[in-house]
Structure 1
Amino acid sequence: MFLIESIEDVPILSTTLRIMKFWSFLIVHNWRRYVCLTPYILMNITQFLDLYYTTEPIVNVIRNAYITVLCFNTILRALLLCLHRYRYEQFMAKLKNYYVQLMCMNDTFVNSEIKNTIQAAKVFTRINLLMGILACIGFVTYPIFSTSKVLPFGVFVPGINKYRSPYYEIIFILQVIMVPMGCCMNIPYTNLIISFIMFGILMCKTLQYKIRNLNFINSSKAKDDLVWCIKYQVKIIRFVDTVNGLTTYIWLTEFLTYGAMLCVMLFLLLIVQTVGQMIIVSAYIITFAAQIIPMYFFANELYVESIAVATAAYESNWYDSDMDTKKFLKLFMLRAQKPCAILVGNVAHMNLELLQTLLNTTYSYFTLLKRFYG
């Protein structure tokens, strides 16, 4: 009835997987992966060397530092994705099975939630890709609005003056080519993980619906339905645990760098000298926010919806059940009170509270930099 032959046919994943498949990060393994990764890694090495040897103005140093860290995080994502390729694919195969199971319920509420989730995932994917394109345009066009001769990225090439012709033109063209490649490594990964989280939210909402509408008048059927809910709860827990196993240390690395990156970009916004530069730096900040805020928002939604499962169980007609069923339901509610959460370094819950802490800390350091510079 539901023609879902591969993970590429799952609507919530299809757009992102087409990009990742083209660059052979997932599903296939061919030369495109190395064409994309190898020059990007070499470029990132030259970026770090450039920061070490640079004598450029503070504006250029700050911008180059931001882009260097961004490229490093991009490479880290791509390398870990390639390293754990089979784990990602096995997980997505399991997600495909869960998706088919939900569709086979043929329930009006569940079908409506599936439709809403797919639509939200597609909208977010398109918006995020658009923001990535705008960031790429900003990287490439920044030298046009600069008051001095600069490259899209700072690089160090021993033995040559990168600002002399024809070296400048050659490096500039190479960097223009590499910018969209970096976008294809970074943006789709964010889209993929948020799709995972959205599906986890969908599973939690389905479980809430099922447990809230249990019919306890028929004790035998109620027990069978409750057993289904308990098994489905275990599926959700394992689902989120797998996501954490694949991503938790990436989030830790990025949490440690995001604050610094946002801080220096806000500071750069104060010291740029032209309106064009200000607009491009503002675009950097907006693109950065478009990456981090949705991730923490949807992670927070998963956190909230997983806790709401316990509330849904209490809102059911549990008082009509027999004593054995009440005991099962009590155990179910006790486990549901421990939230399923996306973890940062297996330590902190990724939610809006953690994002607020990050932004508060960033603003404090930004204020300190502003006073020091002033």
Structure 2
Amino acid sequence: MFDDLQLVKMSVRILRFWSLIYDHNWSRYICLSMGTFLVLSQFYYMFGTSEGFQAKIKNSYALVLWFSTILRGYLLTYDRQKYEEFLSDLENLYYDLKKSKHKHIQRLLIEVNLTGKNMARGNLFLGFCTCIGLTFYPLLTSERVLPYGSMIPGIDEYKSPYYEFCYIYHVVVTPMGCCMYIPYTSLIVAFIMFGIVMCKSLKYRLETLQFMRHDDLLLHKNIKECIQYQLRIIDYIKRINDLTTYVFLVEFLAFGALLCALLFLLISVKTFPERIITCAYITMILAQILALYWYANELQEESFAIAATAFETEWYTYPIPIQKHMLFIIMRAQKPPAIMMGHIYPISLQLFQSLLNAAYTFFSLLRGIYV
């Protein structure tokens, strides 16, 4: 499946292995139930532990990641049919472009496949390294600790045999969470990357209109096809928003608060290793959201650039009926579709900067109060 569509192939195969899409078997219930139990035990720990705020902030990082993972898993399962239909339409859109004889469009497809495949592999490798670090860290300490801060009512998780049971449970569930969180991220970013390719393909088709200016019928036919393709791009981005917009909103709020807390933790810890770990947490948060915001910003810019490309075709020299069609393309492109956060605000690098500014502002406030 998706042999030619390398930008989503790996992510789809992993999500299918856990039966979150396409298949429906026992593996779905295992990964979701085990992950849900871990999240509940983490919430119980956050409200019931007597440890200091530094330990709570450290464990809140894992809690936010796991909560986001489980949220993605349940939403992916709930909207499984919509995702499968979207992937089928994505495949059709891909092969429609692949039928084109233009070398520029073929090069775009090769580039997006290579970039998407390398991104999926890189994200999975980083997730694998994170899993190793989380699961082997307790073995290197002089006292008993668990990969994640969790508590089970009525059980002292630091006494044998409960400690060994909890540790094995965390080790087993960690790769499951990685295989739900990482492929989903790679899949959504791949959707956005293909949207960018669609915008670039439309721009290229608009640029080639100048070679048809002496054949009004052919020019009119191609402009109509450009309008139809522009509407397909708008519908494509709208469907991405319908599937992901509220996930992005929850993660924006959660990661913003967590980033602020980690910055405060950075000036509170005393030892050098603790600062290194805190810096690693901050770096991983920024890395997780930067790729999404980067490509979402590029998609918005490419959508807006369609208007400039259409205007540069010297559309005002065309016959009046064709000018009206070109005006439709220009006017619609001036309100470019974008990946939205909660159907409220477009995801862009400007939003990413606002997130950093807000986190630093609250961090400065906390530092002034407590330090």
The answer to whether the aligner puts 1:44 opposite 2:34 as a matched pair is: no
> CA–CA distance in 2 between the matches of 1:29 and 1:186?
19
**The residue matched to 1:13 in structure 2 has which SS?**
helix
Q: CA deviation at 1:62?
A: 1.1
Give runs of ≥4 in structure 1 deviating > 6 Å. Answer: none
Task: Summarize the alignment of residues 162-311 of structure 1 with structure 2, pairs less than 5 Å apart.
Answer: 162-214=157-209, 215-311=212-308
Is the CA contact 1:248–1:343 (under 8 Å) kept in the aligned structure 2?
Answer: yes
Gaps of 5+ in 1: 1-5
Out of 322, 344, 355, the residue aligned to residue 325 of structure 1 is 322
Matched-pair contact (CA < 8 Å) for 1:44–1:72: yes
Structure 2 residue identity aligned to 1:29: H
* 1:315 equivalent in structure 2: 312
TM-fit CA distance, 1:301: 0.4
Q: Which residue of 2 aligns with 1:3?
A: none
> Which of 79, 89, 95 is equivalent to 1:100?
95
- Corresponding residue for residue 10 of structure 2: 15
CA contact (8 A) 2:5 2:113 kept: no
* Separation of aligned partners in 1, 2:102 and 2:338: 27
Amino acid at match of 2:118: V
Alignment of 1:133-148 (within 5 A): 133-143=128-138
TM-score of the pair, normalised by structure 2: 0.95
Please, which runs of 5 or more residues in structure 2 have no aligned partner?
A: none
Name the % identity.
Answer: 41
Question: Residue type of the partner of 2:128?
Answer: I
The aligned counterpart of 1:30 is 25
Task: For residues 272-305 of structure 1, give each alpha carbon's deviation from its aligned partner in whole angstroms, at most 9, with x where no partner exists.
Answer: 4444433333332222222100100000000000
Following the alignment from structure 1 to structure 2, what is the Cα–Cα distance between the partners of residues 143 and 265? 21
Contact 2:64 2:254 in 1 (8 A): yes
Contact 1:296 1:352 in 2 (8 A): yes
Alignment check: 8 A CA contact 2:248 2:342 kept: yes
| Shift in Å, 1:340 | 1.3
RMSD: 1.6
1:111 corresponds to 2:106 = yes
> Is the alpha carbon distance of 1:147 and 1:55 closer, same or farther for their aligned partners in structure 2, counting shifts above 3 Å?
farther
- Counterpart for residue 152 of structure 2: 157
Name the counterpart of 1:124.
119
Is residue 360 from structure 1 mapped to residue 370 from structure 2 by the alignment?
A: no
Aligned-pair CA distance for 1:47: 0.9
Could you tell me how far apart the structure 2 residues matched to 1:139 and 1:53 are?
A: 22
Query: What is the number of equivalent residue pairs in this alignment?
Result: 369
- Give distance in 1, aligned partners of 2:85 and 2:94: 14
Q: Which amino acid aligns with 2:265?
A: L
**Deviation at residue 144 of structure 1 after TM alignment:** 5.1
2: CA distance between counterparts of 1:152 and 1:161? 16
Local SS of the residue matching 1:56 = coil
Contact 2:6 2:114 in 1 (8 A): no
Does the CA contact (< 8 Å) of 1:344 and 1:350 recur in 2?
yes
Give, in whole Å, the separation in 1 of the partners of 2:174 and 2:141: 19
Q: CA–CA distance in 2 between the matches of 1:288 and 1:147?
A: 28
CA offset at residue 206 of structure 1?
0.2
**Whole-Å Cα distance in 1 between the matches of residues 339 and 223 of structure 2?**
26
The worse-fitting range, judged by mean Cα deviation, of 64-73 and 107-116 is 64-73
CA distance in structure 2 between the partners assigned to 1:30 and 1:126 by the alignment: 26
Equivalent residues of 1:313, 1:333 under 8 A apart: yes
CA positional deviation for 1:173? 1.5
SS of 2:263's partner is helix
